[in-house]
């Protein structure tokens, strides 16, 4: 009788161990419709009347006020907004968001963002075995000069969030009339300026655009004083009444 009780205790103990082990190592899967796009790497998925905020695992897209932030958001929106997706949750971040891989049919959306040049592989957090392949996709996008890699020395978003706005080489680069015009956007007023405008170096003019269309696409409006038109005009150096 004692032997049977001991045997039953052992069986129950093993069963509980296996159950807890399986629960600990299994990954949550969320399936539902994408009902929100916050930015290139953050979406909202509706599953059974419950909304889940999803942070795309292992990648980091440009911030909304960075170059290509708007384009990254539009790219992921075109891929999956209002569509049914499957999310394999790998982690939960400090904001309580589910961090995972997003799949639309057989398309790995995280990977697609990297391949299209709209995201960096996030080295601090991309620790899965497939991250090495993603690094290869990022390098290929760099070499092709697509997406954000079409700009020289783009600032990684994790540096941008710490206040880094470009290398000293970029800050000191020649801005003579023989070069292509670069527009600077004020992240507070959402106004962009010509280089010759007196507000070109204002403390909030940290968004940089290579052409007028890109600035407008990012949600900025032209300065009322220097009136950036896409053509460099030396006379604009006297502009003194730009709105910012």
- Residues belonging to the active site: 55, 63, 97
Is the separation of the CB atoms in 59 and 120 below 8 Å?
yes
DSSP one-letter code for 130: T
Helix (H, G, I), strand (E, B) or coil at 80: helix
State the CB neighbour count (10 A cutoff) for residue 148: 26
Phi and psi of 162, rounded to 5°? -95, 5
Interacting residues of 184 by C-beta distance below 8 A, sequence separation 6+: 192, 193, 195, 200, 201, 205, 206, 207, 208, 209
Is the separation of the CB atoms in 59 and 110 below 8 Å?
yes
List, in sequence order, every residue forming a beta bridge with 186; answer none if it has no partner. 191
Is the separation of the CB atoms in 197 and 223 below 8 Å?
yes
């Amino acid at each position: 009788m004692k032997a049977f009780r001991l045997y039953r205790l052992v069986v129950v103990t093993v069963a509980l161990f296996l159950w807890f082990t399986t629960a600990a190592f299994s990954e949550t899967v969320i399936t539902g419709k994408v009902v929100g796009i916050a930015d290139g790497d953050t979406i909202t998925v509706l599953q059974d009347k419950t909304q889940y905020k999803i942070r795309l695992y292992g990648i980091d897209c440009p911030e909304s006020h960075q170059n290509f932030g708007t384009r990254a958001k539009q790219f992921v929106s075109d891929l999956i907004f209002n569509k049914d997706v499957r999310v394999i949750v790998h982690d939960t971040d400090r904001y309580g968001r589910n961090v995972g891989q997003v799949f639309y049919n057989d398309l790995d959306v995280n990977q697609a963002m990297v391949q299209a040049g709209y995201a960096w592989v996030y080295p601090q957090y991309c620790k899965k075995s497939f991250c090495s392949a993603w690094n290869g996709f990022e390098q290929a996008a760099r070499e092709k000069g697509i997406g954000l890699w079409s700009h020289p020395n783009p600032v990684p978003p994790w540096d941008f969030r710490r206040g880094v706005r470009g290398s000293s080489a970029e800050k000191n680069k020649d801005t003579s009339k023989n070069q292509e015009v670069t527009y600077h956007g004020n992240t507070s007023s959402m106004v962009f300026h010509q280089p010759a405008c007196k507000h070109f170096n204002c403390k909030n003019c940290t968004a940089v655009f290579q052409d007028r269309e890109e600035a407008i696409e990012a949600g900025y409006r032209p300065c009322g004083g220097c009136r950036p038109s896409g053509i460099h005009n030396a006379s604009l150096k006297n502009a003194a009444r730009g709105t910012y």
